Amino acid sequence: MVRHILIFLFLFLNLTNLYGKNVDSLINQLGLLDGTEKISLLTELCWELKYINQNEAINYGLEGVDLARSFSDKESESALLKNIAVVYFIKSDFEQSKKYCYQAIKLFQQQKNTTGIAKISNVIGMIHSAQGNYDNAIEEFEKSIMLCNAIGDTSKVIILEANIGNVYLKQGEYQKAIPLYERIVSNARQKNEQQRVAENIYNLGMVYTKLGDYPKALNYLFEASEISTSLDNHFLWINTQNEIGLIFRRLDMFDEAIMLYLPALKMAEELDNKNLIASLSNNLGLCYFRIDQFEKALNCYNTCLEIRQSLHVVDVGHILNNIGSAYKALGKHEQALDFYNQALETNSQLNLKSKMALNWSDLGELNLEQGNYSEAETYLLNAFSVLEKTKELKEVAIVTKLLSTLYRQSNQKEKEISFNNLHQNYSDSLYNKEKILASSRIIIREQLKEKNNQINKSKQALAHIEIENDAAQKNNKLLLGLLISFLGLSLIGIYYYRKRVNLNKQKLSENLTLAQTEKNILQDSLEKQNKELVLFSLEMVQNKELLKSLKNHLSTLSKNHPDNIEIKNIQSKLSINDVISKDWTYFNEVFNVAFPDFTKKIRNTYPNLSRKELQHCALIKLNISPAEAANIMGITTESIHSARYRLRKKFSLVRQESLEDLILSF
């Protein structure tokens, strides 16, 4: 019991240190302070609340400005104005942010405060970047870097370099952005600066999403999501959900993406963050469009456009084009044409060639449907000339298909054949890209396992907290009677002690809920991928059987028409073995992604296995029956049984031991 009393006294004496930075504690101190001490506290509250509650942060900041002015405290006033400008930026109210930036920089210049001027230049740069004025953004960031170098503030230079990396990201210069972000993350991890770690691994996640490396992108984004949750950084958490949703969209997992976007949108609305509301609304619209809910899509696009225009964002061409596509899907071609033209005009003014190409493609398709061949041809050829250089396979495949259709309908045979051939080439390349996406889905399955492990750990930690909480409540009851007799302040200590336990419990519970949600989303998609290799194997069977049937048919035709040279040429070019060889090559690639250690382990144990024997082992690993395996490998069922018998001998298995169980153990 004495030990419990000493622990309580220790907690009480250190209470100020434990909770000094807690927002509730800061608010509780407001009524106890006045003058310059209250100004400092209001400045701190404005900054601490910037990601948690922007409206409260602004109110505390404005109260501090009024108090600083009443004391003619220019230094505190300028610091508060700078904080308010940052909060308005986070809130996506860029005009208000600029207003307070200009007020702050004027005071910093009067004080010859180089650090303050550098910070404001950074905020102005971020505003320009958010509004799409990239040259102006880089100019402000470089100005801030020059000032920081002049005063030897290297830590701020790293942050500014990250902001320049963000501009590179928006401009599509990914190879310039990656080394910047990696250097910043490494530096932040060494200093245990979790906020900077989270922000920049989120940036890396966005880069790898753009590059199409989705498994790597998800690794970064999941970590960013977890850190932002632990820091109560709602702003960053919403952004990570938005980016993860983008990956799901690109993998055609639209229902899963919607499940992520809706709670993120709700939180963005609670924070009244217009920029995030606009982004999430547009992304939701893209998902609804792909699942044929065109009215919902149109409402989302209109919400996004209205917000972007209210924020004076000029880069809205893609949103106008989305609205045009929704009207076209609803059969309202006049409205579609109007919005397509608005989109083209906006993107032309900004010289955004890739977005203009998509506008031309949509305008070409619309005119083709209406029989306006001349206008359709002009738009589609313009689109093709740009997309061919950007290597956007999906878009260029669509455009070449439309041009082939156009020339067929307008009886231009030569051009039809030319663009049909191009379409086939791009479609083949797109098919190969889809194979890579299939591999990505398999890799994501492993990431789901990792998430399951995290959930289990969270459950264990939560159970531990429950036990700790129960023990704490029992101990508190025992301590209360004794402590009241000689220490009137014991109730305060118990309150804070229990509060800390409950806060820990709540935070772990939230983490568990978040992880469970992510697990459910991934589980719905990845269960479909577990059978991918089996389905592919069956596809190999179908390919071979189809070719067998075709060769038999050609053989019959050849007998009936022995002088037909064309039939003999086709016969000579048809090779079942070539097709099977190609199928095996792709099969091995996907199999090794799904079971990366299988071949290595079985070869280490049985180094004398031939390539054919390894193929037999792979089919057994996939639980393929002997009859199916015979069709896949182009041999008889008896040959399969013989091959498996020889495997048993190589593995030195006795009658009672199972070949299948042995192979499944690798």
Q: Which residue in 311, 393, 397, 246 sits closest to 97, CA to CA?
A: 311
Dihedral angle computed from the Cα positions of residues 404, 406, 410 and 415, in that order, rounded to the nearest 10 degrees: -30
Per-residue pLDDT band for 14 (boundaries 50, 70, 90) equals very low
Q: What pLDDT, in 10s, does the model give residues 298-339?
A: 999 999 999 988 888 888 999 999 999 999 999 999 999 999
| Block residue for tokens 């993350």 | 185
- Identity (one letter) of the amino acid at 328? K
Tokens at residue 251, please? 């993998």
- CA dist 300 and 293 (Å) reads 11
Burial of 287 (0-12, 13-18, 19+ CB in 10 A): buried
Q: Are 272 and 55 in contact (CB under 8 A)?
A: yes
Per-residue pLDDT band for 21 (boundaries 50, 70, 90) equals very low
Q: Reply yes or no on whether the pLDDT at 277 is more than 60.
A: yes
Q: Are 161 and 123 in contact (CB under 8 A)?
A: no
- CA dist 121 and 142 (Å) reads 9
Q: What pLDDT, in 10s, does the model give residues 218-250?
A: 889 989 988 998 888 888 899 999 999 988 888
Per-residue pLDDT band for 654 (boundaries 50, 70, 90) equals confident
For each of the domains in the chain, give its residue range(s) and CATH number, in order of start.
Answer: 180-313 (1.25.40.10), 532-664 (no CATH)
Q: Which residue in 144, 180, 182 sits closest to 162, CA to CA?
A: 180
Whole-angstrom CA distances from 301 to 319, 321, 467, 488 are 6, 10, 49, 61
The helix/strand/coil state of 93 is coil
- CA dist 22 and 16 (Å) reads 10
Q: Is the dihedral of CA 251, 256, 260, 262 positive or negative?
A: positive
Q: What pLDDT, in 10s, does the model give residues 373-410?
A: 999 999 999 999 988 886 677 888 898 999 999 999 99
Whole-angstrom CA distances from 42 to 22, 33, 47, 76, 195 are 14, 10, 9, 10, 22
Average pLDDT, the chain: 80
Q: What pLDDT, in 10s, does the model give residues 584-597?
A: 776 777 777 778 88
- CA dist 128 and 134 (Å) reads 6
Alpha-carbon 245 to chain mean position: 6
- CA dist 243 and 201 (Å) reads 12
Alpha-carbon 96 to chain mean position: 30
